[in-house]
Each structure stands twice: as C-alpha cells, then as structure tokens.
Amino acid sequence: MKHRAKSSKIKYEHHMIKGLREFLEKELEPLEYVTAIFPGEIKRTKNPSSGTLRVKFQYSTNTGAKLLAYGSGVVQEIFVVTNEPEKLKEKLVKIQFRR
C-alpha cells in the first residue's frame, strides 16, 4: 500500500495524536488477529482532556472495529481490520486498567 511500511499493519496516511503511534506499534500491531490499522483524521474536541492518551473501543464494524483515541483537546478515529472485534475490545479494557 502507498502509505504503509512493508512490514507494518499501520497505514501512515494521516498525522497521529501524541503517543498514538507508539501505542499502536506496541499494543495492537503485534496481535495476530489484527490484520490492518487505519488512523483517521484528527478533530478538535470542546472538552480539553488531560495530556495522557486514552484509546476507547467505539463499536464493531463489518470488517473489524472503530476505536477513538483521545489526546489533549483532540480525538482521532482508528479503524482496525480484524475478524475478532470482541477480543480486541477485551484487550483495550486490560490496557486501560494497566495505565
């Protein structure tokens, strides 16, 4: 693909909010049930959150799942291609409890 490193599941077409790239590379990319990761556009939010990154499972889609990443006053959609969205949801819950 045009915006992807040869060995990566992540498409680097858009910028990413602070800390998101490292999170995706460390936590989601190594999962065997994740096929591809597509970060979307960054949008401003009305509510400024703390500077720490939060990633939340939004809902399942036909091809996987939609996640939301919250940063300092911004939100970014992330689409994950997987055939096991419930497993991904459980993984995200465990990661949030670790932080």
In this structure, are strands 64-70 and 74-82 parallel, antiparallel, or unpaired? antiparallel
Q: What does the pLDDT look like over 1-55, one tens digit per residue?
A: 454 555 678 877 768 999 999 999 999 999 999 999 999 999 998 876 667 889 9
Is residue 95 a contact partner of residue 55, using CB atoms and an 8 Å limit? Answer: yes
Q: Which residues contact 27 (CB under 8 A, 6 or more apart)?
A: 91, 95
40-88 confidence digits (pLDDT tens): 999 998 876 667 889 999 999 999 999 999 988 899 999 999 999 999 9
CA distance 65 to 30: 16
**For 19, left (φ over 0), alpha (ψ -120 to 50), or beta?**
left
